[in-house]
Structure 1
Amino acid sequence: MHYSVSLKNLARMQLSAFVHQVELTSLGNILITMKAFNVSSYALPMITVIAGKSNNTTKCKIISLSDAISLERDVEFSTSKEDLKAGEPKWANYVKGCIANFPCTVPGFDAVILSTVPVGAGLSSSAALEVATYTFLEKLTGRVSKKQEEKALACQRAEHEFAGVPCGIMDQFISVMGQEDHALLLDCRDLSTKQIPMYDINEFLFLITNSNTPHKLSSSAYCERRDACYEAAKVLGKKSLREATLDDLQVLEIQKMPEYVVKRARHVITEIQRTVDAAAALEKDDFTKFGELMNQSHDSLQKDYEVSSVELDTLVSSAREVKGVLGSRLTGAGFGGCTVTLVRKDAVNEVIDVIKKRYPGKATFYIAKPAGGARYMSTDIAKSDFDSDIENA
């Protein structure tokens, strides 16, 4: 029996045992197509677990025990790559995509999936499922990825091709590469990474607040922003906005580009610099500076990139009222989902109380710390480890 657990903080995140933790992105929500920086993503103590074994056939039978799935909890399909097609239930498409992008033939198997990651909350539940599945397949077949980048990219392709979601790459990278007490800096230009230590964060914690208004990444809004950034880069004669500077914004204005194109470009260009500054702040244990950058990031996401919402803005502004809060911003793709707040430990209860008073909906709260990425677990330790993760989620 194989366990795969994906601990994904953002991303956030196998039975012969695969655990994958969820991922949280504090800064740098930049489209992968813009070849920018992503930073301060780290894995959360929420988990997606896959438990399973080979069944000596060419078909897989999977049951999902996730509370987020109300219908079609079980599915059966051929593992032959020629037969794999997207369909219903939608959650199974992520598994199909991983099988389709796996580098060798996948035998039939029986598996059960259990996840504590909220769906549609911007905490990368899809990447958690993908990376947990891929880790499970590695153990099932004995074919382990030589490079972590290849594994992350295969999971991204699974989401593009079978779920129809034009996601970036940060969620998959942190789900694969997450390390305890570290954030991950990813340069999307060349996919180079750097682990940023967060050992001295003991005085603070990250409070995740779920607005319980699900975001929908598959919408045209994502494509509109991507296309606007492409258009801006093209006018500037750049391969991507990763090469642009603030001075280039004047060129866009002189060229009389539409206001929304200038705003999208301004967010991307300034967010890249904030990301670099955030990594430097973490390396100096300057959490005050990091919090300031979080605030600037949300304001830019709200006004220039326009991916926030009334609900998210209410959560952020409410949190910022509390003296012990260093910074607060949306996390994930926006348009709903969650916020992340950097707060002193002795002020977290006050933050929760203020949000409950100010927010008209019913928010859900999670206290997070940087955790590890996807890993294999033996059946001997899987249950105790899983119970511990559930307790701390």
Structure 2
Amino acid sequence: MASQIPSLVELVSEASSLYKQTFPGETPQIAACAPGRVNLIGEHTDYNQGYVLPMALPLVTVVVGSPSPGDDAIIVTATEHADEPRRVNFSLANKGPTLSPGAPYWANYVKGVIHHYRAQPLPGFKAVVVSSVPLGGGLSSSASLEVAFYTFLQQLRPDDGDKILKAVACQQAEHTHAGVPCGIMDQFVSVLGKEGHALLIDCRSLETIPVPLADPDLVILITNSNVKHSLASRFRDKLDDVIYRRARHVIEENHRTVKAAEFLKRGAYHEFGQLMLESHNSLRDLYEVSCKDLDGLVSAAMEVNGVFGSRMTGGGFGGCTVTLLKAHVIDRTIQHIQERYHGTPTFFVTTPSEGARNLQLS
């Protein structure tokens, strides 16, 4: 069966309870959230200034907290798999070594967002973070954390509200403090996600076109292989041949992504699904970032009548697949994958959700 996705109300309640436990006698005053994402098609094209077609997920990161002017900023994460310590304490008055990257690694995302926040100076604050976005699954838990924290900071000290520059600031945070030279897609869709829509993003111009994806007979199945692979030993071919195959994938993937958006607008799900499968095969053969686990999940899904298409999503070498299918075959599809796949996958049944937003605390 598919994993139950915690509701936003449940996550806010969990975060608020932890806040009260961590800071006895205090109650959080402000809250914000931002979603993870799944990319339907357009992989390894965003940092090549190409096209992508992601959607925001109901899996979100929630930040609750309160201003505490004059005090240190105290950040706490409730994420079970975060590296220790899960509580960090640093000063905003001196943006020196305390905001430099270091341990624990998760705090680097927070430090980076504070560093690149576009309305300085910030007051001191206390905050708690909880998330339903799986770590390391290719669903952009990092961008979800960055954007949620930026949205939280906007309530402490409002910036000019420019959403594109907000996404860019969060991308810069990942570059400078997490050491990941990511493209703009993850932060962009976490900020600008729209319920019932995927987003066709031109990563060069940053132009965004909402693509309706609200057919009640259609769902998106995310299958997490729960496997991580190393990049080592995968690039041993002659350099010129490698560059050719990588470039060919990017060029063809850009064409696929633009065509896929048009098919989705027309409800041409079979044609859209075929492009998903072509994308996966290209990622496997030309970009060489798939693995037997992801290939097995895709093959198993495609054997079920009512599945339109399936592909790996995210960086590769493990993580998740994304599958477009008819809603009434979801249970049959999950059962078939479990029977055919030799592993312990987890499943999330999703539809396109809203981007980052402020939350009301009761």
Specify whether residues 221 and 106 from structure 1 end up closer, same or farther in structure 2 by C-alpha distance, changes over 3 A only.
farther
Q: Which one of the candidate residues 89, 109, 120 is aligned to 2:104?
A: 89
Deviation at 1:30, TM superposition (A): 2.9
Alpha-carbon deviations, 1:171-218, whole Å to 9, x = none? 10000000000111111121111111123x2111111000001367xx
Specify whether residues 169 and 207 from structure 1 end up closer, same or farther in structure 2 by C-alpha distance, changes over 3 A only.
same
Partners in 2 of 1:328 and 1:221 — Cα distance? 26
The AA in structure 2 aligned to 1:331 is: T
Q: Which one of the candidate residues 335, 351, 368 is aligned to 2:317?
A: 335
Deviation at 1:154, TM superposition (A): 0.4
Q: Partner of 1:175 in structure 2?
A: 190
Q: Partner of 1:24 in structure 2?
A: 38
Look up the SS of the partner of 2:227 in the other structure. Answer: coil
Q: Which one of the candidate residues 301, 304, 312 is aligned to 1:322?
A: 304
Q: Is residue 50 from structure 1 mapped to residue 66 from structure 2 by the alignment?
A: no
Q: Partner of 2:295 in structure 1?
A: 313
- Decide which moves more: 297-306 or 280-289: 280-289
**2:109–2:145 Cα contact (<8 Å) kept:** yes
Q: Is residue 355 from structure 1 mapped to residue 340 from structure 2 by the alignment?
A: no
Partners in 2 of 1:81 and 1:32 — Cα distance? 31
Deviation at 1:328, TM superposition (A): 0.3
Q: Which one of the candidate residues 219, 224, 229 is aligned to 1:205?
A: 219
Q: Partner of 2:51 in structure 1?
A: 37
Q: Partner of 1:297 in structure 2?
A: 279
Alpha-carbon deviations, 1:118-163, whole Å to 9, x = none? 0000000000000000001111112243x21100010001001100
**1:47–1:116 Cα contact (<8 Å) kept:** yes
- Runs of 4 or more, structure 1, over 4 Å off, are 219-222
Partners in 1 of 2:229 and 2:190 — Cα distance? 20
The AA in structure 2 aligned to 1:152 is: A
Alpha-carbon deviations, 1:50-93, whole Å to 9, x = none? 00111122521111111222631111112243341001110000
**1:186–1:194 Cα contact (<8 Å) kept:** yes
Q: Partner of 1:101 in structure 2?
A: 116
Partners in 1 of 2:29 and 2:144 — Cα distance? 15
Partners in 1 of 2:137 and 2:81 — Cα distance? 11
With normalisation by structure 2, the TM-score equals 0.88
Deviation at 1:15, TM superposition (A): 6.2
Specify whether residues 94 and 15 from structure 1 end up closer, same or farther in structure 2 by C-alpha distance, changes over 3 A only.
farther
Same amino acid, percent of matched pairs: 45
**Structure 2: gaps (5+ residues):** 1-8, 13-27
Partners in 2 of 1:135 and 1:215 — Cα distance? 33
**2:45–2:253 Cα contact (<8 Å) kept:** no
Q: Is residue 368 from structure 1 mapped to residue 354 from structure 2 by the alignment?
A: no
Specify whether residues 317 and 259 from structure 1 end up closer, same or farther in structure 2 by C-alpha distance, changes over 3 A only.
same
**2:307–2:323 Cα contact (<8 Å) kept:** yes
Partners in 2 of 1:221 and 1:108 — Cα distance? 46
**Structure 1: gaps (5+ residues):** 7-13, 229-255, 381-393
**2:47–2:182 Cα contact (<8 Å) kept:** no
**1:59–1:107 Cα contact (<8 Å) kept:** no
With normalisation by structure 1, the TM-score equals 0.81
The AA in structure 2 aligned to 1:92 is: A
Alpha-carbon deviations, 1:4-30, whole Å to 9, x = none? x99xxxxxxx96110111111010113
Partners in 2 of 1:297 and 1:81 — Cα distance? 44
CA RMSD between the two structures: 2.3
**2:83–2:104 Cα contact (<8 Å) kept:** no
Q: Which one of the candidate residues 112, 128, 134 is aligned to 1:112?
A: 128
Deviation at 1:33, TM superposition (A): 3.6
Partners in 2 of 1:172 and 1:69 — Cα distance? 20
Partners in 1 of 2:338 and 2:212 — Cα distance? 33
Partners in 2 of 1:283 and 1:324 — Cα distance? 19
Q: Is residue 69 from structure 1 mapped to residue 85 from structure 2 by the alignment?
A: no
Specify whether residues 376 and 120 from structure 1 end up closer, same or farther in structure 2 by C-alpha distance, changes over 3 A only.
same
Q: Partner of 1:156 in structure 2?
A: 171
**1:15–1:377 Cα contact (<8 Å) kept:** no
Specify whether residues 282 and 364 from structure 1 end up closer, same or farther in structure 2 by C-alpha distance, changes over 3 A only.
same
Deviation at 1:221, TM superposition (A): 9.0
Look up the SS of the partner of 1:280 in the other structure. Answer: helix
The AA in structure 1 aligned to 2:90 is: F
Q: Is residue 268 from structure 1 mapped to residue 250 from structure 2 by the alignment?
A: yes
Look up the SS of the partner of 2:211 in the other structure. Answer: strand
The AA in structure 2 aligned to 1:57 is: G
The AA in structure 1 aligned to 2:117 is: F
The AA in structure 2 aligned to 1:36 is: G
Q: Which one of the candidate residues 141, 148, 151 is aligned to 1:125?
A: 141
